[in-house]
Amino acid sequence: MTSQIATLLAVLLFPGGLFALVLGLALKGADRRVAARLQGRVGPPLIQPFFDLIKLGFKRTMVPTEASETVFLAAPLVGSVAMLISAALIPIAGVYAPDTELGNLLVLLYLLAVPGICLMLAGSASGSPYGAIGFSREMALMLAYEGPIVLIVAAVGMRTGMAEGHWVTFSLTEIVRYQQVHGWFLFDPIMWPAVAAFAFFYPANLGIVPFDIPEAETEVLEGPLLEYSGPALGLFKVMSALKAVVVLGLGIALFLPLPFTGPLAFVGWLVEIVVLMLVGVTALRVSAGRMRIDQAFVFFLKWPLLLAIASVAAVALAAGGAS
Amino acid sequence: MNFLTLFARNLWHGPYTDVFPFGPATTPEHLRARITFDPKQCEGCRLCEKVCPAGAIRFTRTPGGMTFDCWHATCVFCGTCEFYCPTKAVKQSNDWHLAHEQGEKYAQVEHGLIPNQICVECGAKALDTSPAVSHIKPPLSETEVSELRARCPKCRNKYLRSRKTS
Amino acid sequence: MTADPQLSKVSTIPVGPLHVALEEPMYFRIDVDGEDVTGVDINAGHVHRGVEYLTMKRTMTQNVVLTERICSLCSNSHPETFVMAAEVIAGITIPDRAAYLRVVAAEVKRVASHLFNVAILAHLTGYEMLFMHVMQVREVAQDLKETVFGNRMDLAAMCIGGVRYNLDAEMTAYMLGALDKLEPEVQSIIKTYKTNGSILRRTRGVGVIAKDEAIAVGCVGPVARAAGIDYDVRVVAPYAAYDKLRVPVPVMKDGDVWSRAMVRLYEVAHSIQILRECLKDMPGGAINLGERPDIPAGRAVAKCEAPRGELIYYLKTNGEEIPERVKWRVPSFMNWDALHFMFKGAKIADIAIIVNSIDPCVSCTER
Amino acid sequence: MTFINKLKDFAVKSPWLYRINGGSCNGCDVELATTACIPRYDVERLGCQYCGSPRHADIVLITGPLTRRVLDAARRVYDEIPDPKVTVAVGVCPISGGIFRESYAVCAPIDQYFPVDVNVPGCPPRPQAIIEGVAKAIAIWRQRL
């Protein structure tokens, strides 16, 4: 019973739920502010995403006549809930470790695919031709980036698992604990291909330039989001804010968890995620142009996939050499 | 320029943003915005009404004289009226604060009245317009201009003719 | 490449008339096979305001301003060509200083117009920082227009028989200062567009038109010059003071979106040089003929090089204040047909980029 | 009630803009793009953001004299904007028809078709004047929330 309450709290309050939502929105605000600075502007206040969200709450949600209403309204809800749960699966080194039953990388991977699927559903349910193009682009992009991430996760799992004496582990808690003892995978040359592949994965998953192709405003108006308004649009904003926390948190857990405990570890984790957001997302987003979907697809089949395969091979070879 | 240089430059320089609307905005001296009208200087030739491409300027005969109206909701701020006005009674100021709420839409007018006067010579009712004096030789003195102004168009002609002969 | 079997068959998507990527209302019906464009149907007329009809309701003086409002991006070329046609009919030679001042107004507009177009190109490729940087550089030109001419878009520089604005020593110094600020920035922008991967990836080999196709549809302006056609009205048939100035004409061979952007950027750099030369050689004297000249009955054709290409005016008068007929052929009208060639083999993502690359001025074309 | 009012005070800090081009000569549209996007004016300071879809918009800016051909499209798009919304007419053309007033192809003034709230005269208005108009529109929007 207590474990169920703990899980519920983890999903609703910390580190999922409210905490992740506030953090995600704050990250988005920081992203916009810093992007503006890099572009030579003042930019919006840090808490602008909160204002946006409150504003959307006061607006009406309009359902297009051609849309299938249930799917149209359910898509953002399902996406947000999936992200809420996955935020509870991300360990914060030295502060929070998810329930071993829950804290499984494979579950997380499935949950991470949900927002993409929701966007696809939203696009096709809205009945607009741009939504349909958004659907096909999102699908293509997902096909392109889902392969590498599975391999990356496998490589990390194998590296940890083999060192711990079994074949492979999918427990994030174990991966974090291993790194706390043996140092970051970021500094482990064998893991570098995996790190590089992950660096290609997260912009695509977060849908930022150069991979914001499904939502490209100047090409397909905002694609799947075109027909959304009011609270439903707000839910999509919530989903994307949570996703930023989940994906960046996953990156931290996989490659650079801090070896501290207590408040210091928590503050350290916050610093890590903010730095990742500003350097990895904001700077990238403003300094590049968008790719075309065919270019992105070929690009993903080439580099991240190769790197991911290389990382699995490297881990396997290293383990073979050691034994 | 590569993006890192641009990053560095933007961060080093700070935002390029103007303070407006939280502070004053820069306004060039020659900005063409709100039309102003000075009835004292108007010659009453109605050339501005004729050249105005948008039909924003209207002169109307009223019992009290002749009114000038420039509708800022129609004016295209081209400055043609100012350019052709022989006495520079119509001028374009650089006041660009023209945004208004819909309720005030029909109040966006520059209004002026060229009043009637009684001719000092013949007693006829005529407009108190500024006399066109630029091409007269020798140039009129100030007292002559004010004397000329106090007359109706007919008596003005008479006045000028008598001046030439003297 | 198609991911969804539903979309693998040809479907039609409407672009516009109100589309965020299009500055103006324009309506395309695009047949797509997945992401590939298979057919384009351009549906025009959304910006038709009946300007040709209005020119026959207004006097010659009023028409100078009316033609300026046909389009704000080439707002100087329209009245310039119109007054040139009127001056041909009336047999007026404008003062030397007026001729130079006309060149100044035209080149300032060209700088702003071209920079706007290349900035939008960066915007359409999603490269926001470059877009903002170019727009910020363009602000120098905008400030120059506002300070010297009094408006950021419509200069109101032309009148029949000369120009309406004058440059004193202070203004000249200000303009030279602005040009000094502009020039290094433009050079660095040229370098960026030449080397930046994001731009090159989306623009090289996209929207290609070959030289013979460009000749066949009669392309003009930067579109023609990017396809290897060396044609510039300023050189071929000099007007105003262009016969006394050195006008370099940049020509490129590839005929793709990138070449068109580069031609525009080089022209910006050349325009700055022309402006400097103008300000240096500016003769003294009158700026216009004073009164409003009478235009006798007659017919005339005049042409000039607008930022988008060759602009031709036909004017017929009957001795009255109101012209009998005014007709103009705008550069975008000629470049419009080139879109059919450029869309061949394009992707959905390229549509906006290709349309923007001819710098379409719908409001000129549809009046 | 005060809590709701407080929330509304926060909500007005996020006015999203959408522009409808009613057949304008580009002048106002270019100035809108300038106002919206470039560092010098940076409306994002006010929380404004240009959106690609009418469904996301709060403040709609209409330019151009509203040609007959574009009228239906403009009305359709206008109806897609969820309430509460505020309409701003930018430039003299939508306010009165400006220089195109007498043309057969022009439906201006647009207040016959749309409930206009704020007018920003100018041909085209300077970006600062547009920002001033948007600020007025935000004040009206607060009352409507």
The pLDDT value given to residue C15: 67
Contact across the interface for B16 and A37, Cβ inside 8 Å: no
Tally the domains of chain D: 1
Tally the domains of chain A: 1
Residue C77 has φ and ψ, to the nearest 5°, of -70, -35
The pLDDT value given to residue C42: 73
Identify the band that residue C7 occupies on the pLDDT scale cut at 50, 70 and 90. Answer: very low
The pLDDT value given to residue C268: 92
Q: Packing angle between helix A172-182 and helix A105-125, nearest 10 degrees?
A: 130
Fill in the amino acid letter for D36.
A
Find tokens 């990527």 and name the residue. Answer: C21
Across A37-51, B28-42, C25-39, C61-75, least confident range: C25-39
The pLDDT value given to residue A321: 61
For the domain that residue D64 is a member of, what is the CATH number? Answer: 3.40.50.12280
**CB contacts, 8 Å: D135 with chain B:** 21
The stretch A171-176 carries a mean pLDDT of 78
Element (H, E) at B126: strand B125-127
Residue D136 has pLDDT above 80, yes or no: yes
pLDDT in tens, A103-152: 678 888 888 888 888 888 887 777 777 777 777 777 878 887 887 888 88
pLDDT in tens, B26-61: 888 888 888 888 888 888 888 888 888 888 888 888
Residue C69 has pLDDT above 80, yes or no: yes
Find tokens 């492979």 and name the residue. Answer: A168
Residue B1 has pLDDT above 70, yes or no: no
Chain C contact probe: residue of D20, D25, D37 with most C CBs at under 10 A: D25
The pLDDT value given to residue C314: 92
Q: Which of C291, A99, A168 is nearest to B86 (CA)?
A: C291
Residue D20 has φ and ψ, to the nearest 5°, of -115, 125
The stretch C183-195 carries a mean pLDDT of 88
The overall average pLDDT reported for chain C is: 84
**Would the CA dihedral through C187, B16, D129, B31 be positive or negative?**
negative
Residue C305 has pLDDT above 70, yes or no: yes
Give yes or no for C199 touching A (CB within 8 A): yes
SS (H, E, C) C11-60: EEEEECCCCCCCCCCCEEEEEEECCEEEEEEEECCCCCCCHHHHHCCCCH
Residue C5 has pLDDT above 80, yes or no: no
Portion 303-362 of C in contact with A at CB < 8 A = 347-352
Of C311 and A262, the one with more pLDDT: C311
**Would the CA dihedral through D124, D126, D127, D133 be positive or negative?**
negative
Contact across the interface for A41 and B11, Cβ inside 8 Å: no
Tally the domains of chain C: 1
Identify the band that residue A222 occupies on the pLDDT scale cut at 50, 70 and 90. Answer: low
Report the alpha-carbon distance of residue A268 to residue D93 in Å, rounded: 57
The pLDDT value given to residue C272: 92
Q: Which of A115, A109, A207 is nearest to A150 (CA)?
A: A109
C296 is in which domain, residue-wise? 5-366
Contact D120, D90 (CB under 8 A): yes
* CA of B5 vs chain A CAs: smallest distance (Å): 11
Q: Which residue of A has its CA nearest to C33?
A: A133
Please list the helix, strand and coil fractions of chain C in percent, rounded to the nearest 5, in that order. 50, 15, 35
Fill in the amino acid letter for D108.
A
The stretch A65-93 carries a mean pLDDT of 81
**CB contacts, 8 Å: A36 with chain B:** 15
How far lies C199's CA from each of A62, C123, C217, in Å? 37, 10, 27
The pLDDT value given to residue B164: 63
> What would the DSSP string read from start to end of C311-344?
EEEEEEE-SSSS-SEEEEE-HHHHHHTHHHHHTT
For the domain that residue C213 is a member of, what is the CATH number? Answer: 1.10.645.10
Residue B89 has pLDDT above 80, yes or no: yes
pLDDT in tens, C250-280: 888 888 889 999 999 999 999 999 999 888 8
Contact across the interface for B98 and D40, Cβ inside 8 Å: no
The pLDDT value given to residue C301: 92
**CB contacts, 8 Å: C71 with chain D:** 25-26
Strand B57-62 versus strand B65-71 pairing type: antiparallel
D119 is in which domain, residue-wise? 14-144
Residue B8 has pLDDT above 70, yes or no: yes
Q: Coil, strand, or helix at residue A171? A: strand
Domains of chain B (ranges plus CATH)? 29-95+105-165 (3.30.70.20)
Report the alpha-carbon distance of residue C338 to residue C332 in Å, rounded: 10
pLDDT in tens, D107-117: 878 888 888 99
The stretch A162-177 carries a mean pLDDT of 75
Across A89-98, A278-287, C127-136, D56-65, least confident range: A89-98
Of D95 and A168, the one with more pLDDT: D95
* CA of A133 vs chain C CAs: smallest distance (Å): 8
The stretch B91-106 carries a mean pLDDT of 85
The pLDDT value given to residue A24: 87
Give yes or no for C34 touching A (CB within 8 A): yes
Report the alpha-carbon distance of residue D100 to residue C367 in Å, rounded: 11
Contact across the interface for D136 and B99, Cβ inside 8 Å: yes
Find tokens 């994906």 and name the residue. Answer: A247
pLDDT in tens, B118-136: 888 888 888 888 877 667 7
Contacts of C172 (CB under 8 A, 6+ apart): C279, C282
Residue A209 has pLDDT above 80, yes or no: no
The overall average pLDDT reported for chain B is: 82
To the nearest whole percent, how much of chain A has pLDDT over 70? 91
The stretch B65-79 carries a mean pLDDT of 87
A200 is in which domain, residue-wise? 2-322
What's the DSSP call for residue A46? T
Cα Rg for chain A, rounded, in angstroms?
A: 20
The pLDDT value given to residue C3: 44
As beta bridge partners, residue C158 has: C163
Find tokens 């057949």 and name the residue. Answer: D23
How far lies B56's CA from each of B74, B100, D96, D99, in Å? 5, 18, 10, 9
Contact A285, A209 (CB under 8 A): yes
Give a yes or no: residue D105 inside a domain.
Answer: yes
Give a yes or no: residue D85 inside a domain.
Answer: yes
The pLDDT value given to residue A219: 61
Contact C314, C127 (CB under 8 A): no
Q: Which of D61, D80, D59 is nearest to D139 (CA)?
A: D59
Cis bond before residue D109 (omega within 30° of 0): yes
The stretch A260-288 carries a mean pLDDT of 81
Burial of A59 (0-12, 13-18, 19+ CB in 10 A): buried
User: Nearest CB to D124: which of C72, C123, C132?
Assistant: C72
Length of chain A: 323
Identify the band that residue D126 occupies on the pLDDT scale cut at 50, 70 and 90. Answer: confident
Identify the band that residue B152 occupies on the pLDDT scale cut at 50, 70 and 90. Answer: confident
B-to-D residue pairs, Cβ atoms closer than 8 angstroms: 95
Element (H, E) at A293: helix A293-322
Within 10 angstroms of residue C41's Cβ, the number of other Cβ atoms is: 12
Q: Report residue A167 as tokens.
A: 């074949």
Residue C119 has pLDDT above 80, yes or no: yes
Chains adjacent to D (≥3 CB pairs closer than 8 angstroms) = A, B, C
The stretch A225-233 carries a mean pLDDT of 81
Q: Coil, strand, or helix at residue C347? A: strand
**CB contacts, 8 Å: C33 with chain A:** none
The pLDDT value given to residue D99: 87
Report the alpha-carbon distance of residue C52 to residue C327 in Å, rounded: 7
Q: Which of B130, B119, B114 is nearest to B60 (CA)?
A: B114
Residue ranges in chain D assigned as alpha helix (H)? 2-11, 27-37, 68-80, 92-96, 127-144
Cα Rg for chain B, rounded, in angstroms?
A: 23
What's the DSSP call for residue A163? H
The pLDDT value given to residue C132: 84
The stretch C147-151 carries a mean pLDDT of 87
Residue C156's region, left for phi above 0, alpha for psi from -120 to 50, else beta, is left
Give a yes or no: residue D26 inside a domain.
Answer: yes
Contact across the interface for D120 and B16, Cβ inside 8 Å: no
Contact B37, B68 (CB under 8 A): yes
